[in-house]
């Protein structure tokens, strides 16, 4: 019986649904997902740091620089876009979704409307955006999107997260995923346990397992097909303000332990978020997990800042810097592509420097 080249399914390719094929392609060996779905407010902070004005044209020019990078599809399987970006065009007039598809990169779209304060749960957030979601998904499909993304945010703090918060976010993620699959889009399910705080790695592990158990129970109750989705979780790391920071090997072991306990083997791929980790540390963690081996799903990346930051710094809003900025993006994509196969070495960073 022929297996899919990624080995991420248990059926002959001919029997796979179109959504299962897209999900498997998103988790292709040695490739990951570029998160370029920053909201206008978030991109303003990034632009301010490099002295670039936050105008629609500058945002378009920045994304144009990223998406026209030569060989982008060698290590990037898909790109998550923001609503504005999906409607924009490259400098030559080609719609961005079409430009990416021509590079062999799958275009996707962020569909949630943000994490908002949760009533009666101080310090906790619940993600909104279910209203009119089916209608928006239908439009995004027409614009060329093949997958979608929804992010839930779980804070760790004094007495939080609460059961109420985790259940509410898991339910919203599951409703979103069901609507996406019903609309012809592969859902990226992103339950992010924030690394902000002074908690230890043990507490992060506990909350990550609790969150993922609730998420997959909710997905099952909403009849979401696991073969037709991609999970985008955070890694099990120490709180950013914790005095004791878990090492790379410990992060890899704890993260895999939680995933093995909670994620069905039928899910084709797990694409980690970087969640504020440094560029190289996010790569090291991914590599360590893949070196451990034996996982039933592809373990890859869906990084935003950890892929874009060196490129953004090199670009600085100038057309003269496009080649250097694209080289920086291509390098980080290649490093993470190697990490997704357990073949990354830190010496490769020095060679490129």
Active site residues: 190, 232
* Phi, psi (degrees; rounded to nearest 5) at 260: -65, -30
* Phi, psi (degrees; rounded to nearest 5) at 148: -135, 170
Distance CA 194, CA 208 (A): 10
Residue 92's CB is within 10 A of a number of other CB atoms, namely 8
161 preceded by a cis bond (ω within 30 of 0): yes
Helices marked H in the chain:
18-26, 40-49, 56-67, 83-86, 96-102, 133-142, 163-183, 201-221, 248-262, 279-292, 305-315, 322-339, 347-352
Are 43 and 72 a contacting pair, CB within 8 Å? no
- Inter-residue long-range contacts of 113-116, CB under 8 Å, 24+ positions, other chains counted: 114/39, 115/151, 115/152, 115/153
**Closest C-alpha to 37, from 92, 102, 88:** 88
At residue 32's C-alpha, the angle toward residues 28 and 38, to 5°, is: 145
Q: How many secondary structure helices (H) and strands (E) does the chain include? A: 13, 10
Are 208 and 234 a contacting pair, CB within 8 Å? yes
């Amino acid at each position: 019986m022929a297996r899919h080249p990624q080995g991420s399914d248990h059926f002959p390719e001919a029997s796979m649904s179109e959504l299962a094929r897209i999900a498997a392609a998103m988790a292709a060996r040695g490739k990951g997902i570029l998160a370029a779905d920053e909201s206008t407010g978030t991109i303003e902070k990034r632009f301010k740091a490099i002295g670039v004005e936050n105008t629609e044209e500058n945002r378009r020019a920045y994304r144009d620089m990223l998406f026209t990078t030569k060989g982008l599809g060698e290590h990037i399987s898909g790109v998550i876009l923001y609503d504005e970006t999906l409607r924009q065009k490259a400098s030559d007039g080609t719609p961005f979704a079409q430009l990416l598809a021509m590079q062999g990169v799958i275009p996707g779209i962020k569909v949630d409307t943000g994490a908002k304060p949760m009533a009666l749960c101080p310090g906790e957030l619940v993600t909104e955006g279910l209203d009119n979601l089916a209608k928006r998904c239908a439009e995004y499909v027409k614009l060329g999107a093949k997958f979608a993304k929804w992010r839930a945010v779980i804070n760790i703090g004094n007495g939080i997260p609460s059961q109420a918060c985790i259940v509410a976010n898991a339910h919203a993620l599951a409703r979103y995923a069901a609507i996406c699959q019903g609309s012809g889009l592969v859902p990226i399910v992103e339950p992010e346990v924030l690394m902000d705080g002074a908690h230890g790695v043990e507490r992060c592990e506990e909350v990550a397992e609790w969150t993922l158990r609730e998420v997959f129970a909710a997905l099952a109750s909403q009849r979401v097909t696991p073969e037709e989705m991609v999970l985008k979780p955070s890694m099990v790391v120490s709180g950013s303000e914790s005095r004791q920071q878990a090492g790379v090997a410990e992060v890899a072991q704890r993260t895999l332990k939680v995933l093995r306990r909670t994620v069905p083997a039928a899910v084709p791929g797990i694409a980690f978020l970087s969640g504020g980790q440094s560029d190289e540390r996010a790569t090291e963690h991914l590599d360590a997990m893949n070196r451990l081996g034996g996982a039933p799903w592809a373990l890859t990346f869906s990084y935003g800042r950890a892929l874009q930051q060196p490129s953004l710094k090199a670009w600085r809003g100038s057309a003269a810097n496009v080649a250097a900025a694209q080289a920086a993006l291509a390098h980080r994509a290649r490093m993470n592509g190697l990490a997704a196969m357990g073949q990354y070495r830190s010496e490769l960073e020095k060679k490129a420097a």
